[in-house]
Chains A and B, each alone.
Chain A
Amino acid sequence: MNLPPHQVQLTEDGRLKHFLTTEGLSKALLTEILDTADSFISTQERAVKKVPLLRGKTVVNLFFENSTRTRSTFELAAKRLSADILNLDISKSATSKGETLMDTLWNLEAMYSDMFVVRHADSGAAHFIAEHVTPNVAIINAGDGRHAHPTQAMLDMLTIRRHKDSIEGKVVAIVGDILHSRVARSQIHALRTLGAAEVRVIGPGTLLPNDIEALGAKPFYRMEDGLKDCDVVIMLRLQKERMQNALLPSEGEFFKLYGLTEQKLALAKPDAIVMHPGPINRGVEIESAVADGHQSVILNQVSYGIAVRMAVMAMAMSGQQQPTALSEEA
């Protein structure tokens, strides 16, 4: 009990049985996820898109926080793996009416599901669920508080790999609200493990966490310094409530300092790509000319998202079963 998340998610022989975080996973395993996702991209271009890897399995989308996009891509990924899928939106207010998270889980276990895809506002929630559900239920973290959003990070890795050939040696800048971003944390771990030359985080002091260097990222306060010679620029979404919490004066000032314009993008390498986990706030994080410009790969990210989610779902389900299950069924 209470192993760090990266140990909880592995079987004894080092395969994935849950997918909770990119932290602590080996380069080989992260590469396996990307390779598996790559193979699914080709199946997605076929007329018949389904593969039977999760046939007969029940996947529950357990969303304690609202999300249409992430939930939909998980749903699509599960369907294309031939699983049965149940969507449950359990807003935080429902559970705070007295039913604890444990009560909810016990109820769901009674339905004999095989996999929970979990989004929750508390950091560590997916890890908590992985430790407390019965064995043989795979947990996929679809975002827990500020902690991790590993499938988003892996689809970003796939995007970089497909557009820049490799992650090794690349300089990557992540811009905006790093403090509250589970995406940034998962990206930093994955980028470091996959051999990025430098991971930079750019934002005002109020939105950069203290000790971010301990994660292996280099903080910058100015775009002029941070974007210089970057291969990849990842913009993060800015939440409106940051203005109310005295973290930022206004969207306007944020855009002036950190909004990605063609002028600022010119500081990066000429062939740099621009990414964003979406949904984008045009005119806040990024100007339309850049979002829709030729360096932007934002829409590609979305389609890779389905392939990456299919990959981790298939791998984690296989990790819950006998060692050879994936290859036999495939």
Chain B
Amino acid sequence: MRYCVIEGARLLDPANQLDQVADIYIADGKIQAIGHKPSAGEIETTLDGRNKLLVPGLIDLGAHLAEPGFSQKGTIASETHAAARSGFTHICALPDTKPVTDSPAVVKLIQEKAAQAGYAQVLPLGAATQGLEGEQLANMFSLTEAGCPALSNARNPIKDSYVLQRVMEYAATYGIRLFLSANDIALSGGCMHAGPTATRMGLDGISEAAETIALSQILLLAEQTGVTLHISQISCGRSVQMLKQARDNGLNVSADVPLANLVYTDESVNGYNSHFNVLPPLRSEADRQVLLAAVNDGELAISSNHRPHEIAAKKAPFSDAEPGMSMFDCFLPLALKLVNSGELQWPALVRATSQIPAQVIGLQHTGLAEGNDFSAALINTNAQADWSQLSSKGRNIPCAGEPLKGAVSALFVNGAQVL
């Protein structure tokens, strides 16, 4: 056997109770040994991991890759490259593409483009309803068969509780995972969190109830149908409580929070900076604290909610700008900002970006343990983020220019070094 060895990195993986400086040996795409040299075989390549951190590859539970359909905003190649530079090895791509990811053909197209690009692995989320219109069931079984780890309706509304119930029942029949966003469309007319800042700025607010009402509807129907459920992109502290209560009642439900909602609050909107026009909206400091606590307690995954835009899409008065942030170029620096300020613990960050997402989508054999597939990021936590080198086509990066730290020096996807 011929090995690749990464020497002297700090290996961090709470799922395997790992936090130590050790050499790690890789061959055949798998981890062969940690901390001791395998008895047979020779070293082919050596990577210097000293003063660096090796963590399991990040798995994103929701990103907009803009392709097919919006090539002025991004391509699968550009966006997966940016994702890789933040340490992502797997990305669940949201289905609001053009055409919508509601047929196996589109799923296949995305998979092929991603394989061609050769960065992070893309797992397309199929549409739960045809055209994401919320009225008729998409070919849910065929989409799953084509490789979708789960189905989602993005943030598009499902027509009514009848259709929602049928979507869940049909998914439950075949053990299909559902990713649902909780937003009551009638209460979601605004462009930012309904609070003192919105009142002062004269912007239409989106109340907490827009999320909690939809969430309660989803949770009650899930109880009845027994579907495998994940809630995408929660933004309210109250939702954390509701999820806890549902789990206490025996419901198997997971959830993620977009990184932006852990870093920013509605007060970021103060200068009418359209970069902070994002869905779900950035909420109050109290919400942010509850969400951070839930991540630190291992209750929530962190997603990127990456949504790249060209300059023109954001160069408009706040409410006219297209919502979304380009997160892949800044995900690692922003996450490290939370770690460096002490708001987020390292093990919690690793758990929320790799262990929990892997469980949510049923990805097996991940994590830093002998015998597992080697998907991991070697991170230099002291390197300055370089804003002159952006990989995403998105120019809507909320923190570009800020002196932040964190860069990936090497990335492995199933044993292959892609960066």
Given contacts A124-B317, A210-B195, contact A3 B271 (CB under 8 A): yes
CB-nearest residue of chain B relative to A124? B272
A5 adjacent to B195 (CB under 8 Å): no
**Does chain B have a CB within 8 A of A283?**
no
Given contacts A4-B270, A4-B271, A132-B315, contact A124 B201 (CB under 8 A): yes
Bound Cα distance A209, B270 (Å): 18
**Does chain A have a CB within 8 A of B40?**
no
Q: Which residues of A contact B199 (CB under 8 A)?
A: 209-212, 214-215
Given contacts A5-B272, A210-B195, A210-B199, contact A122 B315 (CB under 8 A): no
**Does chain B have a CB within 8 A of A102?**
yes
The residues in A between 1 and 56 inclusive whose CB is less than 8 angstroms from any CB of B are: 1-5, 8, 23
**Does chain B have a CB within 8 A of A291?**
no
Q: Which residues of A contact B202 (CB under 8 A)?
A: 123-124, 144-148, 182, 185
CB-nearest residue of chain A relative to B271? A2
Q: Which residues of B contact A146 (CB under 8 A)?
A: 202-203
CB-nearest residue of chain A relative to B317? A122
Contact of A102 among B205, B270, B315 (CB under 8 A): B315
Given contacts A2-B273, A123-B201, A147-B202, contact A128 B316 (CB under 8 A): yes
Q: How far is the CB of B224 from chain A (nearest CB, A)?
A: 31
The residues in B between 334 and 360 inclusive whose CB is less than 8 angstroms from any CB of A are: none
CB-nearest residue of chain B relative to A126? B317
CB-nearest residue of chain B relative to A148? B202
**Does chain B have a CB within 8 A of A71?**
no
**Does chain A have a CB within 8 A of B312?**
yes
A102 adjacent to B312 (CB under 8 Å): yes
Q: Which residues of B contact A185 (CB under 8 A)?
A: 200, 202
CB-nearest residue of chain B relative to A189? B200
CB-nearest residue of chain A relative to B199? A209
The residues in A between 95 and 135 inclusive whose CB is less than 8 angstroms from any CB of B are: 100-102, 120, 122-125, 127-128, 132
* Contact pattern, B 181-201, Cβ under 8 Å of A = 1, otherwise 0: 000000000000011100111
Bound Cα distance A23, B203 (Å): 15
Bound Cα distance A140, B203 (Å): 20
- In this complex, the member of A120, A128, A148, A185 whose beta carbon has the largest number of chain B beta carbons within 10 angstroms is A128
**Does chain A have a CB within 8 A of B319?**
yes
Contact of A100 among B201, B205, B312, B319 (CB under 8 A): B312
A122 adjacent to B318 (CB under 8 Å): yes
Q: Which residues of A contact B195 (CB under 8 A)?
A: 210-211
Bound Cα distance A144, B319 (Å): 12
Q: Which residues of B contact A132 (CB under 8 A)?
A: 315
Q: Which residues of A contact B28 (CB under 8 A)?
A: none
Q: Which residues of A contact B203 (CB under 8 A)?
A: 123-124, 145-147
Q: Which residues of A contact B271 (CB under 8 A)?
A: 1-5, 8, 127
Q: How far is the CB of B200 from chain A (nearest CB, A)?
A: 6
**Does chain A have a CB within 8 A of B320?**
yes
Q: How far is the CB of B154 from chain A (nearest CB, A)?
A: 25
CB-nearest residue of chain B relative to A212? B199
Q: Which residues of B contact A100 (CB under 8 A)?
A: 312, 315-316
B272 adjacent to A128 (CB under 8 Å): yes
Bound Cα distance A124, B201 (Å): 8
* Contact pattern, B 376-409, Cβ under 8 Å of A = 1, otherwise 0: 0000000000000000000000000000000000
Q: Which residues of B contact A182 (CB under 8 A)?
A: 202
Q: Which residues of A contact B320 (CB under 8 A)?
A: 101, 122
Q: Which residues of B contact A211 (CB under 8 A)?
A: 195-196, 199
B312 adjacent to A124 (CB under 8 Å): no
Q: How far is the CB of A152 from chain B (nearest CB, A)?
A: 14
- In this complex, the member of B273, B315, B320 whose beta carbon has the largest number of chain A beta carbons within 10 angstroms is B320
Q: Which residues of A contact B270 (CB under 8 A)?
A: 4
Given contacts A2-B271, A210-B199, contact A122 B319 (CB under 8 A): yes
Q: Which residues of B contact A123 (CB under 8 A)?
A: 201-203, 272, 317-319
Q: How far is the CB of B238 from chain A (nearest CB, A)?
A: 16
CB-nearest residue of chain B relative to A178? B199
* Contact pattern, A 203-220, Cβ under 8 Å of B = 1, otherwise 0: 000000111101100000
CB-nearest residue of chain A relative to B319? A122
Bound Cα distance A302, B242 (Å): 54
Contact of B196 among A23, A147, A214 (CB under 8 A): A214
Q: How far is the CB of A139 from chain B (nearest CB, A)?
A: 13
Bound Cα distance A146, B196 (Å): 14
Contact of B317 among A23, A125, A148, A214 (CB under 8 A): A125
Q: How far is the CB of B328 from chain A (nearest CB, A)?
A: 22
Q: Which residues of B contact A4 (CB under 8 A)?
A: 270-271
Bound Cα distance A215, B197 (Å): 9
The residues in A between 282 and 323 inclusive whose CB is less than 8 angstroms from any CB of B are: none
Q: Which residues of B contact A3 (CB under 8 A)?
A: 271
Q: Which residues of A contact B200 (CB under 8 A)?
A: 23, 185, 214-215
Bound Cα distance A101, B319 (Å): 13
CB-nearest residue of chain A relative to B205? A210
Given contacts A100-B312, A144-B202, contact A124 B318 (CB under 8 A): yes
- In this complex, the member of B195, B270, B272 whose beta carbon has the largest number of chain A beta carbons within 10 angstroms is B272
Sample 22 A-B pairs with CB under 8 A, ordered by A number.
A3-B271, A4-B271, A23-B200, A100-B316, A101-B320, A123-B319, A124-B201, A124-B203, A124-B318, A124-B319, A125-B317, A127-B272, A128-B316, A128-B317, A132-B315, A145-B203, A145-B319, A146-B202, A210-B195, A211-B196, A212-B199, A215-B199
Known contacts A127-B271, A182-B202; 5 further A-B pairs (Cβ under 8 A): A5-B272, A23-B200, A124-B318, A124-B319, A210-B195
5 cross-chain pairs, A with B, having the tightest CB-CB distances, nearest first: A146-B202, A147-B202, A214-B196, A124-B272, A2-B271
